[in-house]
Amino acid sequence: MTHWFHRNPLKATAPVSFNFYGVASTPAASKICSDLRTTRARLLDLFTDPTCNHEMMKNATDSYFSLLLGFINSLDGGTQDTKLRYIQNFKWTDTLQGNIPSAQQDAVFELVSMGFNVALWYTKFSSRLAGKEDITEEEAKEVHRSLKVAAGIFKHLKENHIPKLITAIEKGRDLESRVIDAYIIQCQAEAQEVTIARAIELKHNPSLIAALAYETANYYQTVDHTLSSLDPVCIAKLRKYTQLKMCFYMAYSFCYHGQTLLSSDKCGEAIRSLQEAQKFYGKAETLCKEYGQTKGPGTTAKPSGHVFFIKLGSLVKNTLAKCERENGFIYFQKVPPEAPELVLKANYGLVEPVPFEFPALSPVWTEETHAAFDLTKRPKEDSAKPKKEEEVKPVKEPDIKSQKDSGCQIS
């Protein structure tokens, strides 16, 4: 399944030194600053490390966020802002708007921006793992779980931390509700793709596969609708991806629904359902070409070259031929002019985000260390000197090499 999923680029950020000379008035306070700098750099390095796994990522995120939360949360657990929240400026780019950075002097902005990148890492990790030539059952479960974890992180940021930002998010930026909603639903849809592949391989009931495919197609349609009001230049490529996946899974749904109808001796309706599957599959093929030719951020997936994609085309064709053959010999039923209405609800296999919480505040944050940050000793800015802008370099991500496609079979 290499290059089956579309992935947007990681967010890039300017370096942050956490050098609060004079403000951090004790060795313990200076040590917190040093550890923040080190753990942040370590986390950023892991985002592009192809050997990084779940455990490494969790350890790195816990190390950094448990320290950063001391700049946000009061020690008594109250809702009042800590005095350190606005001491440092943070600058980040966005996944859809290229290398145009936005900045806020707010530790909450850093928390949600870095958290967003952590969620993106889980989606990229799942894509890389799904691209292995012979994926095991345990690895397939890890792909499935990684996508649910990513959805949970996006959801947690949206509901609990992004609303706390003082500066409103500009339209089309990563932290804007439409963008983050699109990422949440995309993760759920892609996790359900893993469920569908598993259900097909184990030859589950066609009605279950049809219902799961229908729910997944609706997820992709919702993502497309959510993105439709954003700047077309930024989201054209991602929308083509969601549209082709929607058509692909509608084809799956009508194909397996046709099998269900045939098993109930409704051969005429089955033929019409398979004809509709053929139509959606043709649309998916066309959209694959358009997607590949559309400019925009992110790596280009190549779904039309996958065995998983090609197999559906053969399945639709062969099942339709079988239905027409049986109708000519046994059923002699009229083929309805309208496609059957899909009123399908999956009772199993639906994906929900894994609940996410940031780690507890690091024990190094005490009343003494917090008091050791003396904001009255902050150096006054010299307005006569132009402030040097921190450079935001694009993230150089490792290439995912194409492997022989096994058709998403789980060994």
Q: Given this model, what pLDDT does residue 180 score?
A: 97
CB 152, CB 187: distance < 8 Å? no
| Number of neighbouring beta carbons within 10 Å of residue 195 | 22
Coil, strand or helix at 132 = coil
Which pLDDT does position 253 carry in this prediction? 96
pLDDT beneath 50, residues of the chain: 1, 382-386, 406, 408-411
CA dist 407 → 132, 187, 253, 372, 394 (Å): 11, 20, 18, 59, 33
Cα–Cα distance between 279 and 130 in angstroms, integer? 28
pLDDT at 410: 42
Q: Residue 154 region, left (φ>0) first, then alpha (ψ -120 to 50), else beta?
A: alpha
Can you give the pLDDT at residue 387? Answer: 58
The pTM of this model reads 0.92
d(CA 58, CA 110): 18
Q: One-letter amino acid identity for 242?
A: T
Answer yes or no: are the C-beta atoms of 249 and 209 closer than 8 Å: no
Judge contact between 296 and 242, C-beta under 8 A: no
Predicted pLDDT at 133: 73
Place of tokens 């400019």: 295
Determine the distance from the C-alpha atom of residue 315 to the mean position of all C-alpha atoms in its chain, rounded to a whole number.
30
Closest to 243 measured CA to CA, from 2, 6, 1, 28: 6
The answer to whether the CB of 116 falls within 8 A of the CB of 175 is yes
SS3 230: coil
Which pLDDT tens digit goes with each residue over 24-48? 999 999 999 999 999 999 999 999 9
